[in-house]
Structure 1
């Protein structure tokens, strides 16, 4: 997303946020990822263990890297007009060697080309159980993060990604474990090594005030845990989730989630998935949210404030629930409900062309103030009071398929989130709202050309949410393919790409393999020119003869 200082209304997402506008809708951008101030390396021993060492131990898993979620931004018509003028370790089995640990380096995560220090090797998380006692007035948390995981190699130590906050105790399989901090790494040494293939559980108790993260890919906003006027919300793409809970912070390790939030009774607390329990005891409200579908860490969300819940069922197996600020005037509340009324039609359209909505619920939470961006947190998208434009709403919804269910395995492939969600929002405007798709795309081509949009397949980390490249030129890539192969083959490509990776991850090579299988090498060459050629192609081109479509 882009900063408000540059007159852009930002849509975070992720995976991830809303796309540039049509006619009255302006461009979408993403929030920057922040670098984390290093912590002094220190080692802490759980109370029941022997005295801690003074050197941060080397983990048997690569230290985690910070992952940043893509953010999408959209401007008003006036803001877009202004914006258009801008150029735009491996674990050792040697017990003696393991007794002399060395300091972990921050650049040995899962190997993401943009965020090499994010994530950790050596284990796969299967489930997170996060429990937060939140004071929204003081903006503090008292939290316990429990995770279940499977060791993929023998673990003498392992890392979780966590920035700031004070860790008090760590246990592994119920036994106290030693731990140390190094930059955004929480290094954990279990009392006993964990054999490869073993399931294990870890629990981290921690507290403090979450501090948002500066991310090298999000140049307009610090990301993670936000606190504004006693309202809490999270927008973590790509690396910000480690500002409020410890995790294996990379999309390649998705997991299911239970998120339990306790707040003062006057506040509402919302999160991902389904609300399965709510109770008020002694003036404190506790809610439990369950996400049974795999989710990337950056898409987990906590929302706390004074909100009203509006819900209905689109069908028996799909709940729609929206949250609107109780402080709004009757007129503003009515206007918000009316703006969100496009959701059912957008869901039905995307299901018709892509397949069933991938989760148990969907909805939107609208902040009672101008937020400057929107983001597609899984099953409950985040909006400010100024991003309730049909295209932005459709963009965040489209991310539930492309970005949330199907997620990139390396952040350099972000066009597979933003380009797809942006183009799907244009298709929605054309099909459901009667807009002229060719005219909209001609305008996008003109603007991408004027901006000299860089190829979306060859961006640098600082261009992670470059609107003209990652949103606009990536959208034109898909439209050029659409024109070449026609509706039937194009939507076959989208569905095959989605279905082959639903619930998991993907990359550009996998998408191009689908294109080649269903549309031929010529179509792959066309997509490649839009993704990788330095110059913006001069025309979207006319469809070739039918005989050439599957050459």
Structure 2
């Protein structure tokens, strides 16, 4: 997610400065890219994740098992009501119909899951919307509502290890989430011609029943029906040609790689679309609202160019297509929806596109297992902005680092980014001090260790979940250094670290 622009910089320079390893970034990338000609080749849907990061239960009834009742929270201590316990979702099949005139959404969601304990009841997250019917493995199931919890009682006990399918029919006018301390309004947001759908951190439940926490990733099928003349955009790739009947058009999309629920979208409206491939052959889907028609070609071109470049820096692109969407809803932010970042009401500069596309590795393929580790998403994507600017000859990562460090009065020094706060999840420290942590690490271990470390990080945890402690351990192993003091100073102390030399 992009929310924090960089401060003004001095005149552009093309020469990296202050990198202790003594090698330029461009020279290093040439070394890294050797043998990686197909780094951007579409992924064929290898969906086996690495072992998920453990999420410790916050308290009984909020992530901890209560006999055979699935807990109403997945166990994230900072977001105790998010997600649910007792099962692991494998796949979502979402059949959705949306009418912008009435703002009514009708849905049928089939959720395939595996029980991780014996279950006589379990919860799904769902905000508002009226549920008319629930079945489990085809049999009628009882259900009740408790705020944003849909509590389901199957007709038979589900045993630990069993696979089961729950189907939920529902409808109503979606209500977005509102959190003035963070993004304001997010989730399913109605627009005059459709909907702007950006769900970080927990807005998926505003439009489909889910296990709404990034630690439970799944694959997705979307079948979205809208009035004829509108376009429905979701994650992954379109399956077949949209079909129009009786004044309505149905679009079918499939995301065959694991995806966190907050990255799912069903953005709809009047869009101009361009498709094609990047120079390395990766499919691109770019769409812009009519009012941004002049930005379509730039979005398409920059998206392909930047995705191709990141594959030489971060490792092979993890998904089967790339893209981007510009909607005319003035959200004031961009979100890294998997395979198709969305830009809310503005034409993004290349550095913002670079940020959101870097998230395809950091946040989308490698997802956090708990929200307090958000710097692993935003710090990495912000540092990617600096690397892109360095690659483009605008400014160096080192100059960005030093400009931030020079402001000793910046409030981010009081906010340790290694423990993101639920009340200020997207604070500038998570972005900027998180990025500075990576630059301090790069200066400490040198480019010849730093960039291979990043590639090993993305490869070892591809499609899985990660924690800060795992990254620190890998950094120490790759570098052969004890880095605890460095990470403690930059991530966990509420003060400005000593200057790096």
- 1:457 equivalent to 2:418? Answer yes
Matches within 5 A, 1:471-486: 471-486=431-446
Aligned counterpart in structure 1 of residue 471 of structure 2, from 511, 517, 542: 511
Give the corresponding residue for 1:53.
none
Structure 1 position 386, deviation (Å): 2.4
Give the corresponding residue for 2:18.
none
In the aligned structure 1, how far is the partner of 2:280 from the partner of 2:430?
A: 36
Give the corresponding residue for 1:523.
483
- 1:180 equivalent to 2:144? Answer yes
In the aligned structure 2, how far is the partner of 1:407 from the partner of 1:139?
A: 32
Structure 1 position 369, deviation (Å): 4.7
In the aligned structure 2, how far is the partner of 1:459 from the partner of 1:471?
A: 10
Structure 1 position 388, deviation (Å): 0.8
Give the corresponding residue for 1:391.
351
Is the 8 Å Cα contact of residues 374 and 420 (structure 2) preserved in structure 1?
no
Q: Classify 1:297/1:499 alpha carbon distance in 2 versus 1 (closer, same or farther; 3 Å).
A: same
In the aligned structure 1, how far is the partner of 2:355 from the partner of 2:367?
A: 15
Structure 1 position 436, deviation (Å): 2.7
TM-score, normalising length: structure 2: 0.85
Give the corresponding residue for 2:66.
90
Q: Is the partner of 1:197 in helix, strand or coil?
A: coil
Gaps of 5+ in 1: 1-12, 26-61, 66-88, 93-97, 99-103, 543-551
Structure 1 position 276, deviation (Å): 0.4
Structure 1 position 152, deviation (Å): 1.4
In the aligned structure 2, how far is the partner of 1:470 from the partner of 1:347?
A: 24
Matches within 5 A, 1:51-200: 89-92=65-68, 108-200=72-164
Q: Classify 1:191/1:335 alpha carbon distance in 2 versus 1 (closer, same or farther; 3 Å).
A: closer
- 1:351-385 CA distances to partner (integer Å, 9 max, x unpaired)? 11111111011111101353311100111111034
Gaps of 5+ in 2: 11-59
Give the corresponding residue for 2:227.
264
Q: Is the partner of 1:463 in helix, strand or coil?
A: coil
Is the 8 Å Cα contact of residues 272 and 293 (structure 2) preserved in structure 1?
no
Is the 8 Å Cα contact of residues 279 and 305 (structure 2) preserved in structure 1?
no
Structure 1 position 345, deviation (Å): 2.3
Q: Classify 1:24/1:227 alpha carbon distance in 2 versus 1 (closer, same or farther; 3 Å).
A: farther
In the aligned structure 2, how far is the partner of 1:448 from the partner of 1:285?
A: 56
Q: Classify 1:174/1:24 alpha carbon distance in 2 versus 1 (closer, same or farther; 3 Å).
A: farther
Is the 8 Å Cα contact of residues 449 and 536 (structure 1) preserved in structure 2?
no
Structure 1 position 294, deviation (Å): 0.1
In the aligned structure 2, how far is the partner of 1:429 from the partner of 1:131?
A: 41
TM-score, normalising length: structure 1: 0.78
In the aligned structure 1, how far is the partner of 2:162 from the partner of 2:319?
A: 30
- 1:246-291 CA distances to partner (integer Å, 9 max, x unpaired)? 0111111110000110011111111000000321111110011000
- 4+ runs deviating over 4 angstroms: 62-65
Give the corresponding residue for 2:392.
432
Q: How many residues align?
A: 449
- 1:233 equivalent to 2:196? Answer yes
In the aligned structure 2, how far is the partner of 1:314 from the partner of 1:459?
A: 36
Q: Is the partner of 1:462 in helix, strand or coil?
A: coil
Q: Classify 1:395/1:447 alpha carbon distance in 2 versus 1 (closer, same or farther; 3 Å).
A: farther
Q: Is the partner of 1:153 in helix, strand or coil?
A: coil
In the aligned structure 1, how far is the partner of 2:427 from the partner of 2:152?
A: 37
In the aligned structure 2, how far is the partner of 1:168 from the partner of 1:317?
A: 45
